[in-house]
Structure 1
Amino acid sequence: MPEGHSVHRIARQFARNFVGRPVGATSPQGRFAEGAAILDGRTMTRAEAVGKQMFLEFDEDVWLRVHLGLYGAWDFAGEILVDPTIASANGRMGQTNQRGTDLSDADRVFDDAGENSLASIGAPRRTRVHVRMSEQTRGLDEPDGLAASDAEWPPPVVGQVRVRLLTETTCADLRGPTACVVQRPDEIARVIAKLGPDPLVGDVGEGEERFLAAVRRRNVAIGQLLMDQSVVSGIGNVYRAEMLFRAGLDPHTPGKDIPEETVRGLWRDWVVLLRIGVETGQMMTMDGLEGDAWRRAMASRDDRHWVYHRAGLPCRVCGTEIVLEEMQARKLYWCPACQR
């Protein structure tokens, strides 16, 4: 499932390519025909993300709420205007690493797991990219150039497209979301009110206090609380495992038993990691990597995480075998020696 950094990147791309422009809306699949008819011809006025949900505002107070869930995906085609503050870690979008250092063409690093959100050289250019920020998804449909169909405009529909959003120059197709619904402002407000704090939305200090209160009043395992979107927004399996390892916390520790400063440290770590994820397009959770080690980490997720996806392998710190268990039907990776 996409984690918070990916949804923020998609929202920012919508802000760059769609906000301020009239948008055509259709539902090639047919399941969103009524909603598409409401959106069709309206101007998009805002695009924002809170945790794993994205909210697109159109004129006359009409909103589209999208939750990608496990299988949702966006495909962009046409002129993809690249936000200069957001770089793709695979180097195709203007390479920037998590330390803010621009890389030349010769130093580009190509990620092998498709964790990046967009892949496009320059801005604007005609390209076709696949956007589905999950650990299992490949990046480009056509990594070495334009697909033959990109000569057509608008591009032909491929697969089960729930909704197509189209400007004069840019197309965005949505497939397989958990939620894709037109809502009123009051309905959107109620959805957001139920979500936990997001470091990129609102005041970071207020978010920290909300997170602290939500964790320390609960007799629930911290490994469950970090995945509860009403406690904190945007954290999924990868960030959960990595943040707990970085904090040296046993995932089973009840929230109410965790010292205040440790809880505050978790929030502050999430602030840092989320920003890195948005800037690079990857869930980079290891610090202090340089040279070849950094390049390996940017190219492969197996070299940029402490414990995630490392079941049965030795801990990078102490050598203890990394444990894999299920917590609320989701995979949890952790080191029983470092996290106690």
Structure 2
Amino acid sequence: MSKTHHQPLGGNQMPRFGGPATMMRLPSLPSAQGLDACFVGVPLDTGTSNRSGARFGPRQIRAESCLIRPYNMATRAAPFDSLSVADIGDVAINTFNLQKSMGIIEAAYDEILSHGCTPLTLGGDHTIALPILRAMKKKYGPVGMVHVDAHADINDNMFGEPIAHGTPFRRAVEEGLLDGKRVVQIGLRGTGYAAEDFDWPRAQGFRVVQAEECWYKSLAPLMEEVRRQVAGGPVYLTFDIDGLDPAFAGGTGTPEIGGLTITQGMEVIRGCRGLDIVGCDLVEVAPPYDPTGNTALTGANLLYEMLCVLPGVNYRN
């Protein structure tokens, strides 16, 4: 059965400050049925430990995405020519119960994946990666992962709680959701409580690329190595906006100085082209700390770059 190749609403059809408040002004559909890829919001910030506000991330990312046009001038990717893509709205999380929200999110992604659709997630705080990876394992088995972040997010607990935005990848390892030898964490930095903060993931087989290894250079050579490491199976791409330096993306809950530039973030995503990417997320955009909208605008563009590297995307000659 042929699929509908939905196109974003163009700026010459409707002014960019008008039209529907969907990701890239794509059609809003009730489910992922019939889609190759979907944008989906998870407006949860109950797992945050410092500044809340990421619950408003999906809405603001969508608002800023109105500036993005369908064709990637740099990479020549034309994702809407070859993939059926739409915005399927937000997961209706439980505002008052984080544990219940984990089950709600997992069930929502079970449904998305049942249609053979690749989800591109608008967060939300990084807690949401855990239920998404739980759903991924049921469909694909343990996945490889490319993880951009200032923090490793492998705490054993936070205030005694096993589920929070600083614990998802510790739980993911314990639950067998990740193929540790095919996991790379990029941009980790800042202060910590102990050397184990970065040594524990290394002990699981992860490659940890601290931010200092990224300063003053292109990350294209790094991504050649990353592709070789994580190839050979399904890969999940998770991008915490605080992986970027707060000079570029200050609208987030736990900013850390000395981070990646926007162009380095784009190099990481573009460097994932050719991998079997089965899902992506962009998390921790907190609009209350983003008065110019630049952080959400950056997040929207990075999500578009993720769409452009999905399997099946056509590239124009």
- What TM-score bracket applies, with the shorter chain setting the length? under 0.3
- In our comparison, the structure showing a higher alpha carbon Rg is 1
Of Structure 1 and Structure 2, the greater helix share is in: 2
User: TM-score, with normalisation over the residues of structure 2?
Assistant: 0.27
